[in-house]
Amino acid sequence: MIGVFGMVGLTSDKFTSIPDPGQNGIVRLSEPELDRQIQNYILDLKSQQSIGQAANELNDFFPLVQKIILSRQNWERVPEDKRLLFLEDDPIEALDTEAVTFEIQSRIPGRFDQGPAGRGKIKEVSSHYRGERDHPDHPGEKLVVMGKFYDNWIRFYVYAKTNKEARKRLFWFEGLMASFEWFFRINGFRVVEEEVGRRERVEIDGVVVTRYPVVYMVRSEDIHFYSAQKLKEVIISPSVSTT
């Protein structure tokens, strides 16, 4: 396998039953049933959350994308040897199937203001107070939660053997990301599609294939926890700058 990102143990994980609204006019669930399943899924996630483990740092975003790819292809009953590969690195050998790769195009402190996400004039230059939680190991003590938002532009490349297949897979991927916007939200990410670039022809292992770049803005948050003993070291007052 050519550097598949985080594939170990995925087929048996619970996310294979993520509520899936479907796409391209194929409605899998009625709206009330979908809402019910999503609410049950959220409650189940909350019951499994542990203190001190950040769920929305950028590194946590990419496994979520792979989870929904696997979930959708399970629903579509795609044979194992025909499944889309999700790779952190560009394919280094001839593709037997289609693939999606990803890279960080840019990353800046979160920007806030009126207008499109990620393009405000006020940026979060330091961590800010997010609240307090009970310490999991020391009853009666509190943990101070500090967070800092980042706006990340992630470039995905959708690979296929022909122009037509690449275009179809591009639309499939766009539909997938839109269908699971709620899933990204409950996991702490805001995901906005920015643009699709021009079609490219690239050579892999002597074979020319087609790829489309598609860019998403992903707002993530780095979370840090401080014990009560470090409260005096934490600056809770706002700290922002303007450009």
Q: What is the mean pLDDT of residues 203-210?
A: 90
Pick from 41-55, 158-172, 205-219: least confident: 41-55
Does residue 100 sit in helix, strand or coil? strand
For the question of whether the overall pTM of this predicted structure is more than 0.75, the answer is: no
Pick from 3-12, 125-134, 153-162: least confident: 3-12
For residues 99 and 142, which has the higher predicted lDDT (pLDDT)? 99
Cα–Cα distance, 188 to 64 (Å, whole number): 11
pLDDT in tens, 22-40: 655 455 666 777 777 777 7
Strand-pairing partners, residue 128, are: 147
Asked if 212 and 167 count as a contact pair (C-beta separation under 8 A), the reply is: yes
Q: Which two tokens stand for residue 191?
A: 């995901």
For residues 16 and 149, which has the higher predicted lDDT (pLDDT)? 149
Cα–Cα distance, 78 to 80 (Å, whole number): 6
pLDDT band at 118 (very low <50, low <70, confident <90, very high): low
Does residue 41 sit in helix, strand or coil? helix
Cα–Cα distance, 232 to 15 (Å, whole number): 41
Q: Which two tokens stand for residue 138?
A: 């020391």
Q: Is the pLDDT confidence value at 206 over 50? A: yes
pLDDT in tens, 49-66: 543 344 578 999 999 999
Residue at 190: amino acid letter: R
Strands 207-227 and 200-204: antiparallel
Instruction: Specify the pLDDT at position 27.
Output: 54
pLDDT in tens, 77-115: 899 889 999 998 888 777 788 999 999 999 998 887 655
Instruction: Specify the pLDDT at position 174.
Output: 96
pLDDT band at 119 (very low <50, low <70, confident <90, very high): low
Average model confidence (pLDDT) across the chain: 76
Asked if 83 and 211 count as a contact pair (C-beta separation under 8 A), the reply is: no
